[in-house]
Structure 1
Amino acid sequence: MLLPLRFALLALLSLLVSPLSAAEVRRPVTILISIDGFRADYLDRGLTPTLTALARQGVSAAMRPSFPTKTYPNHYALVTGLRPDRNGIVGNKMEDAARPGETFTTKNSDDSFWWSQAEPLWVGAEKAGIRTGVMFWPGSNAPYGGIRAQDWFPFSENVTNVQRVNTVLDWLRRPVALRPRFLTLYFDLVDTAGHRHGPDSPELNAAVREADRQLAALRAGLSELHQPANLIIVADHGMAPSSPNRVVWLHDIANPADYHVIDEGPVATIDAVPGHEAALAASLLRPRPHINCMRKADVPQRLHFGRNPRVAPFVCIAETGWLLLDVFPKKWGVDLGSHGYDNAAPEMLALFVAAGPSIKPRGKLPSFDNVDVYPLLRELLSLPPKPGIDGTDTPFKNALKRR
């Protein structure tokens, strides 16, 4: 009688432990999150309990963006480890002699031609057999060498922040074979509020709070899934106050018959009308208050900018808080917050917070260049170091748990 009783006890024990033994032990994933326009010191405003907790659990820093401190160039720098002059995305608007008469803008950003000078991380990961899911990251809607992330969405401002977070969580609910190990997530609400209302406005603070709430929702969803994650939270640039009262009008300092404007604002890129090069140079290169115009070859070396053929012949950098415009902006008028300035300006410093099972709680790190994020991500994904990039993982040497 003892033997059947023993079998009964073993059977009962197996019923009690089988749910635990059958439960999946999930591998950590890496999620790169961009809060566009989140200036580094917004973290000190007492509005972000989730971000503050993550910074305490891991590391944070005031990160230097690449020049120009614009959205597309810096998002691509973060995922290629190459500064804009080398990754090919030299501005939010740019031209290339190979495409005469065409200007790169958000409207044609799905054309692989513009992104072909540097391989983004999701492509390198896919080549290594790591499945990726990219939510709205600039450049992700254009294949590189015929390869895209397994999951991606073209940007649409009609997709709410809640839907963006839920999409990432839905990807992680899949069976392991279809589940991304590297994911990205993008929020634009802080940047939009900064442009429209300024970096010191109540509207900006409300956007910062909302971005933090979305991060809290993401963390709650990950916890529910028992999904460990290394969260790398960044911004592409900061934001400086600007004003309609601090504008230099290009048509006031040069003859419109002499120039062709490619991009304008805190940094303006300008080409001469053929045959008018000397006249335009004479107008732009004389000393003027609040702006510094130069030939591309004369851009200061520390900005690492001006050698790419896509950089316009003339580059004008406005004093922080000033703008160089050719026409009055149509969307909502002159921005009350702007970016694109010299990346040494304190107002351009960007958010960086990292926390997760692979990251030690090391607190505040010294400032570093944003191209250093790329080798950090490769290490988190167990990808080998990539030679020839501009970034280094040196800033994170003491913050990573070695496997």
Structure 2
Amino acid sequence: MAARATNADQDRRKPVTILVSIDGFRADYLDRGLTSPLSALARGGVTGPMRPSFPTKTYASHYAIVTGLHPDRHGIVGNRFEDPAHPGLMFTMAAHKDSFWWDQAEPIWVAAEKAGIPSAPLFWPGSDVKIQGTWASTWQHYDMDVSGRQRVDAAIDLLRRPAATRPRFLTLYFDEVDTQGHRYGPDSPELTAALMQVDGAMAHLRAELAALEQPANLVIVADHGMIATDPSRVIMIDQIADPADYHVVDEGPSAMIAPTPGREATLAAKLLAPHPHYRCMRKEDLPAHLRFGHNPRVAAFVCLAEPGWLLLGKVPAKGVDLGSHGYDNREPGMLALFIANGPAFAADKRIPTFDSVDIYPLLRDLIGLPPRPDIDGSDAPFNGVRRP
């Protein structure tokens, strides 16, 4: 148990804002009756389904949440992509730390630091990169072997700092729900265990904040949902077109395919023909609701699979996932968790489905930054559920 704060320190403790991502926590997981601490936070605050940006993949979705921009504008257009301005390089989840990948947008911690607000985005995608010339005051390299409880303890330790250096904005990130959803599917016992594990971490966070007598506005989100998949619903891209005509940039429920120079027409004839269970389009012809396809980093062709189907360049060595995400963001299975709880929020409120880019302006409100008009999101969905 954390040591109690002194009276003098308590007097200086104003509410902090903590943004929590539970990767892959589908909105309706909250209704399974397995997550008592999270459900208590929802009852004591505001909840509702959140629609992720497209593509509904981890890096693109997380950066939309903290920039208020859809991926086509913030530049992180998937978990794997190329940039024509940097030929020969590929952004991946393992190779992403050059600043130029991220500099098309300003995440909330950079805005906070520029305004003199100390921030500590712990493990959030992009937080371990210098963006637009600015680092967060505190950040950590991602390490999936750090337990949920240890991640909470790291944040609490930062809140024990003196008021002058104590972060006013923090993030936490939990990966286990997504990991088990991929490996075993969204209806598996392993997924159930992961839900209970992260629920325990949230209970620990609440207990430690209470022991420290630190008021906090918690904004708890997920980057996307999860839909069941299996090896019988896989389409191999090399069965659609000749591999000499293309290379696969990204794959899964949505795939980005780049033509070999001089072979675009041949590739287009194969990809754009009608196919069962998926549809391929030139990027400029994507449906308007996806808000995707204009950034130069988006490959020339984008293919979308039906829910439950996968488009793969090759079968992974570990086998085909039993759950996945990356589908059209209007699919119910892609809807993500949202809970807001703290002194800034009313209790027992449910709001209609809103877009993940709306979280960013809410965060600006909470940490005292002025509204930013040049973003895709709006804080309007939270009108009527905020306390004065």
Query: TM-score normalised to the size of structure 2?
Result: 0.97
Which residue does the alignment assign to 2:327? Answer: 341
Which residue does the alignment assign to 2:238? Answer: 251
Residue type at the aligned position of 1:327: K
- Cα distance in 1 between the residues matched to 2:88 and 2:94: 15
Which residue does the alignment assign to 2:349? Answer: 363
Residue type at the aligned position of 2:88: G
Q: Secondary structure at the match of 1:148?
A: coil
Higher radius of gyration, 1 or 2 = 1
Which residue does the alignment assign to 1:322? Answer: 309
Q: Is there any run of 5+ residues in structure 1 with no aligned partner, and where?
A: 1-18
Which residue does the alignment assign to 1:117? Answer: 104
Q: Which of 202, 215, 235 pairs up with 2:202? A: 215
Percent identity over the alignment is 61
Is 1:294 aligned with 2:278? no
Alpha-carbon offset, residue 20 of structure 1: 5.0
Alpha-carbon offset, residue 373 of structure 1: 0.4
Alpha-carbon offset, residue 145 of structure 1: 2.0
Which residue does the alignment assign to 1:277? Answer: 264
Q: Is there any run of 5+ residues in structure 2 with no aligned partner, and where?
A: 1-5
Contact 2:10 2:213 in 1 (8 A): no
Q: Secondary structure at the match of 2:178?
A: helix
Which residue does the alignment assign to 1:64? Answer: 51
- Cα distance in 2 between the residues matched to 1:223 and 1:191: 28
Q: Which of 61, 82, 95 pairs up with 1:95? A: 82
Q: Secondary structure at the match of 2:17?
A: strand
Residue type at the aligned position of 2:350: K
Contact 1:362 1:399 in 2 (8 A): no
Residue type at the aligned position of 2:110: V
- Cα distance in 2 between the residues matched to 1:257 and 1:337: 30
Query: TM-score normalised to the size of structure 1?
Result: 0.94
Is 1:392 aligned with 2:378? yes
Alpha-carbon offset, residue 398 of structure 1: 0.6
Which residue does the alignment assign to 1:309? Answer: 296
* CA distance 1:276–1:124, change in 2 (3 Å): same
Q: Secondary structure at the match of 1:278?
A: helix
Which residue does the alignment assign to 1:127? Answer: 114
Is 1:235 aligned with 2:222? yes
Q: Secondary structure at the match of 2:231?
A: coil
Q: Secondary structure at the match of 2:11?
A: coil
- Cα distance in 1 between the residues matched to 2:57 and 2:141: 19
- Cα distance in 2 between the residues matched to 1:165 and 1:364: 27
- Cα distance in 1 between the residues matched to 2:378 and 2:173: 24
Contact 2:349 2:385 in 1 (8 A): no
Contact 2:12 2:163 in 1 (8 A): no
Map Cα deviations across residues 213-239 of structure 1 (whole Å, 9 max, x no partner). Answer: 000000000000000000000000000
Which residue does the alignment assign to 2:155? Answer: 168
Residue type at the aligned position of 1:180: P
Map Cα deviations across residues 324-363 of structure 1 (whole Å, 9 max, x no partner). Answer: 1111112x21000000000000000000000000111142
Which residue does the alignment assign to 2:39? Answer: 52
Segment drifting more, 283-292 vs 362-371: 362-371
Map Cα deviations across residues 136-157 of structure 1 (whole Å, 9 max, x no partner). Answer: 0001111112211100011111
Contact 1:63 1:367 in 2 (8 A): yes
Q: Secondary structure at the match of 1:372?
A: helix
Q: Secondary structure at the match of 2:164?
A: helix
Q: Which of 65, 72, 75 pairs up with 1:78? A: 65
Map Cα deviations across residues 177-233 of structure 1 (whole Å, 9 max, x no partner). Answer: 111000000000000000000000000010001111000000000000000000000
* CA distance 1:258–1:214, change in 2 (3 Å): same
Map Cα deviations across residues 262-319 of structure 1 (whole Å, 9 max, x no partner). Answer: 0011000001111111110011000000010000010001110000000000000000
Q: 1:375-386 alignment to 2 at 5 Å?
A: 375-386=361-372
Segment drifting more, 102-111 vs 340-349: 102-111
Alpha-carbon offset, residue 23 of structure 1: 4.7
* CA distance 1:141–1:27, change in 2 (3 Å): same
- Cα distance in 2 between the residues matched to 1:89 and 1:268: 15
- Report the aligned-residue RMSD: 1.0
- Cα distance in 2 between the residues matched to 1:257 and 1:394: 49
- Cα distance in 2 between the residues matched to 1:71 and 1:227: 30
Segment drifting more, 23-32 vs 59-68: 23-32
- Cα distance in 2 between the residues matched to 1:335 and 1:145: 36
Residue type at the aligned position of 2:271: L
Q: Which of 4, 11, 27 pairs up with 2:14? A: 27
Which residue does the alignment assign to 1:152? Answer: 139
- Cα distance in 1 between the residues matched to 2:102 and 2:132: 10
- Cα distance in 2 between the residues matched to 1:143 and 1:136: 14
- Cα distance in 1 between the residues matched to 2:292 and 2:233: 25
- Cα distance in 2 between the residues matched to 1:273 and 1:154: 36
Alpha-carbon offset, residue 107 of structure 1: 2.0
Residue type at the aligned position of 1:308: N
